[in-house]
Structure 1
């Protein structure tokens, strides 16, 4: 699986592409943009069309739109994202904070594979966005190379999504050490060691305890090659008892991890258990359904048959859903 399309919705709003729909040529033709707060504005640059920098495109956006009502911004491709981090992009957003008083959501790095593979996207320290926007409710980040997330406290953040093919352990520990009292939804793609995902289950212990995340209802620790070990820890993790959704999908999940979940603390209070992309036997799939679905738990086991993990010569290959 790869990232094959841009975000179509963000923060509950449809995405509106600034460059294509209200760029230089569209503006000259008299195009009228939507109401500022009715869409999530996506700003990106396309080197094959222009040598404009992302910061220059953002400056055009600030001039063209009444940004006092903008609620959500999506940062698409910036120049040479496979070579350069988003420091200038983040700097431009921070510098414009007074012109974005209604901003509640930012997604940094909405690029599909043709623009930059997920593990080629260079990131950096993304926490200046949280410091600059104390009313921010949602932050999404795609790309793990060079990603930094030193521990922070943020009073209003409700949703944090970090999509990587390999999330550095230091960044995982930084999120885990952060105080996020309003956070309801946490989604981390931990990835594989082949692309820098070097976190161990012990680095996730603060998530299992949940002390710094008192409002958490949705926990996704997924796309991991240590999915079995994650599930073994979750089997007795205090945080699970107050979750509505537990997502351990997209990783190398085998019968060992699923059995640990089933034989641990009860899961019948969950609204959903997401296990899609897995390496489970037919017997374990049946057991999961028979144990949880009668209690009203939605169990996502897609696909219905276990992913193929054995070659003709007996070699076993198991992969996370999103790596490179």
Structure 2
């Protein structure tokens, strides 16, 4: 699941549509359209979301969010109650939780409300919690989860995404769980804590096929270490894993070296080491490790790899047909002690 500082337009193969608050004078915005809250029609009309009944409940990924300019809108819990009353939630398959309060540093109350109402959502298979962009709340100010209640309440869930950081030591964004059906897990953060990474590593996820972790930096809570990734790279609890993204880290070279010798790597079809501080040392480790020609795609976007080493990796993979994306090369800050930087921090 690719990170972009834009609201989701599509999720789980469906166009995203905001639930328009009751009584709103706004006209409908076609599902899947980019969300531009300054979008006006020639007559001065404002377009936002859809009303219940405009589309089949299973034709869109519904987004519930507080509009940061929406004075007079109901609060997020009232909006959820309206959703339950006005939409046939038994047919909803995908749900996106957006901004819930002007201060997004407190956990999203909709997570507990949704978990408590799980019996109203028998078809729900895909959830993204934290579709919040920087003009609403920086990723380092936005609470991640807690996500465990969603996994416990929805045993048939297939996709879970979350964005933010742990904003309280008292509330873990994720704890170790067993979930038989989860296929995709993506945690997008400027600072993913070690205990969250350990929780992923210790969870029993036999159906998980895709895992993306944006690790971030210590200044924003990203205190995970290479040791925290050991069980993930061992792969024993992830027998179905085919895509692994270990992203946005200040120890990206160490990650590359660990991946190069990891048991899980030989089972992958896609590897993503983007958004971090990967340099020549990391690519050298990849080249010296186990063959990567079985991979369908290797993505290293936003990196600090020199042209010569890029060419070496490209040449090594050329004969196997592996697609290599090494776009967005960066240049380190010559004046900084640590010249390299991750793509997403604050």
Q: Is the TM value for this pair above 0.5? A: yes
- 1:124 and 1:42 map into 2 onto residues whose CA distance is 16
SS of the aligned residue for 1:222 comes to strand
Question: Deviations for 1:95-124, whole angstroms, at most 9, x for unmatched residues?
Answer: 211111100011000011111111110234
SS of the aligned residue for 2:204 comes to coil
TM-score (structure 2 length as normaliser): 0.87
Which has the larger share of helix?
Answer: 1
User: 1:26 offset after TM fit, Å?
Assistant: 5.8
Q: What 5-or-longer segments of structure 2 have no aligned partner?
A: 29-49
User: 1:80 offset after TM fit, Å?
Assistant: 3.2
What is residue 343 of structure 2 aligned with on the other side?
A: 321
What is residue 25 of structure 1 aligned with on the other side?
A: 24
> Larger deviation: 204-213 or 124-133?
124-133
- 1:309 and 1:178 map into 2 onto residues whose CA distance is 36
Q: How does 1:157-176 map to 2 (within 5 A)?
A: 157-176=182-201
> Larger deviation: 53-62 or 141-150?
141-150
User: 1:63 offset after TM fit, Å?
Assistant: 1.3
Do structure 1's residue 203 and structure 2's residue 202 form an aligned pair?
A: no
Q: 1:153 aligns with which of 178, 193, 218?
A: 178
User: 1:82 offset after TM fit, Å?
Assistant: 3.1
Do structure 1's residue 284 and structure 2's residue 309 form an aligned pair?
A: yes
Q: 2:291 aligns with which of 257, 266, 269?
A: 266
1:140–1:81 Cα change, 3 Å: farther
Do structure 1's residue 77 and structure 2's residue 78 form an aligned pair?
A: no
8 A contact 2:93–2:124 mirrored in 1 = yes
What is residue 13 of structure 2 aligned with on the other side?
A: 12
User: 1:61 offset after TM fit, Å?
Assistant: 1.1
1:279–1:101 Cα change, 3 Å: same
8 A contact 2:139–2:164 mirrored in 1 = yes
Give the paired residue count: 317
- 1:323 and 1:92 map into 2 onto residues whose CA distance is 30
CA RMSD of aligned residues (A): 1.9
Q: How does 1:123-138 map to 2 (within 5 A)?
A: 123-138=144-159
What is residue 84 of structure 2 aligned with on the other side?
A: 62
- 1:83 and 1:120 map into 2 onto residues whose CA distance is 5
- 1:249 and 1:28 map into 2 onto residues whose CA distance is 39
User: 1:177 offset after TM fit, Å?
Assistant: 0.2
8 A contact 2:17–2:61 mirrored in 1 = yes
User: 1:318 offset after TM fit, Å?
Assistant: 1.1
8 A contact 1:44–1:77 mirrored in 2 = yes
Q: 1:178 aligns with which of 190, 200, 203?
A: 203
1:158–1:81 Cα change, 3 Å: farther
8 A contact 1:81–1:122 mirrored in 2 = no
- 2:315 and 2:26 map into 1 onto residues whose CA distance is 58
User: More relative contact order in 1 or in 2 (CA 8 Å, sep 6+)?
Assistant: 1
What is residue 307 of structure 1 aligned with on the other side?
A: 330
Q: 2:111 aligns with which of 90, 94, 98?
A: 90
- 2:264 and 2:336 map into 1 onto residues whose CA distance is 39
Q: How does 1:204-283 map to 2 (within 5 A)?
A: 204-283=229-308
Do structure 1's residue 34 and structure 2's residue 55 form an aligned pair?
A: yes
- 1:42 and 1:26 map into 2 onto residues whose CA distance is 19
Question: Deviations for 1:229-277, whole angstroms, at most 9, x for unmatched residues?
Answer: 1111111100000100011110000111111011100000000011110
1:55–1:292 Cα change, 3 Å: same
User: 1:4 offset after TM fit, Å?
Assistant: 3.0
TM-score (structure 1 length as normaliser): 0.93
SS of the aligned residue for 1:24 comes to coil
Question: Deviations for 1:204-234, whole angstroms, at most 9, x for unmatched residues?
Answer: 0011100000000000011111101111111
